[in-house]
Amino acid sequence: MSTRTNRQVLLNAHPVGFPVDTDFKMVVTPAPEPGDGELLIRTIYQSLDPYMRGRMNPGLSYTTGVSLGEVMGAGTVGQVVASRHDRFAEGDFVLSSNGWQEYAVSDGRGVRKLDPAAAPISTAVGVLGMPGMTAYAGLLEVGELKDGDNVVVSAASGAVGAVVGQIAKIKGHRVVGVAGVQKKCDYVTGELGFDACVSHRSDTLADDLQVACPDGIDLYFENVGGKVFEAVLPLLNDFARMPVCGRIANYNMTSLPEGPNEVPRLMGLVLVKRLRIRGFIVYDHVHLQDDFLRDVGGWIGSGQLKYREDIVEGIENAVGAFQGLLRGENFGKLLVRVSDDPTSRA
């Protein structure tokens, strides 16, 4: 019988507005034991992503919500520590969905082996995982990137936006990013190679974006919503496309904003400019997985595509890190290192 304990972060209450500490609950339980056809996975890295805020609500979301008292869900990278499964051996590194906890039992469905020699294992929940795949599918299939497109990307220094902009640059396009503090804008232009970047914190955001986009916008990759969307809207060219990946500016709203109803104006622009606004979920595009891993993996290997990780130590700090994510405090793909990474090259 194992003496391992398992720290878990549960959803304690549905947030009203911004999530507070008491919306979560840390518990300590005995680590589970694998049965026949199962494996026990120790979590090494836990992903933190904006979509998790929607899963905390009791209403409609694009994926199954988290019930009260349930472990918060998350993509994870871990190591098999016990196995009674014929496809997995003790010591294997795997991509799975352990959630916000130190250990989880799996029957192997949805679990994929990782090769630490091919890429750092943390990238499996980042640039070579769901965020990277979201960028790849959203830009190329949903957005239908075309020759000559002028591209704008919101949350440009984030896990998705940084990959979107770099792919567009690799494909030969002019790319403008929208980010927060100045150091993020400097990173977007200086390290990632965007042509320009404007701050959504500027009082002159709309004017700044217009100056940065003298020929308008043909493709806008939407991660944010709110005032960034409002600044982009009048600059969209005829037949512009807008893949909608997220709307983090609106996730904590408890009521509609005050002011006039802007829906008629929006629908008028959609009609007159023949705009195409399309929401998408990455799991609708799994047929692109092999192409994504080949292309993005190749671009990373050649140095054409760069990535940045923001790693927080310890599951006890997951809640604070998630709150910081919703405030835009992270810089790069946000991960929690739940336990030691034996493959770390640091």
Domain presence at residue 142: yes
Q: Whose CA is closest to 119, among 145, 95, 153, 86? A: 95
Residues of the chain short of pLDDT 50, as ranges, are: none
Between CA 226 and CA 91 the distance in angstroms is: 45
Domain presence at residue 344: no
Whether residues 136 and 280 share a domain: the answer is yes
Q: Residue 252: left (phi > 0), alpha (psi -120 to 50), or beta?
A: alpha
Whether residues 119 and 244 share a domain: the answer is no
Domain presence at residue 35: yes
Domain presence at residue 160: yes
Domain presence at residue 230: yes
Whether residues 173 and 218 share a domain: the answer is yes
Which token pair is 1? 């019988």
CATH code (residue 160): 3.40.50.720
Residue 25 burial (CB < 10 Å; 0-12/13-18/19+)?
Answer: middle
Confidence at residue 18, expressed as pLDDT on a 0 to 100 scale = 93
Between CA 16 and CA 264 the distance in angstroms is: 29
> Whose structure tokens read 């000559």?
148
Q: Whose CA is closest to 199, among 179, 215, 183? A: 179
Whether residues 37 and 76 share a domain: the answer is yes
User: For the chain, how many structural domains are there in total?
Assistant: 2
157: domain range? 132-285+293-298
Whether residues 32 and 149 share a domain: the answer is no
Whether residues 148 and 255 share a domain: the answer is yes
Cβ(81)–Cβ(340) under 8 Å? no
Q: Determine the 3-state secondary structure of 177 from DSSP.
A: strand
Whether residues 111 and 30 share a domain: the answer is yes
Whether residues 333 and 266 share a domain: the answer is no
Cα 119 to Cα 39, 124, 161, 184, 308, distances in angstroms: 23, 8, 21, 25, 14
Whether residues 12 and 139 share a domain: the answer is no
Whether residues 208 and 275 share a domain: the answer is yes
Confidence at residue 262, expressed as pLDDT on a 0 to 100 scale = 76
Domain presence at residue 148: yes
Domain presence at residue 342: no
Domain presence at residue 343: no
Confidence at residue 255, expressed as pLDDT on a 0 to 100 scale = 63
> Whose structure tokens read 């986009």?
213
What sign does the CA torsion over 111, 336, 79, 25 have?
negative
Whether residues 187 and 266 share a domain: the answer is yes
Confidence at residue 149, expressed as pLDDT on a 0 to 100 scale = 98
- pTM summary value: 0.92
Residue 139 burial (CB < 10 Å; 0-12/13-18/19+)?
Answer: buried
Residue-wise pLDDT for 303-332, tens only, equals 999 999 999 999 999 999 999 999 989 999
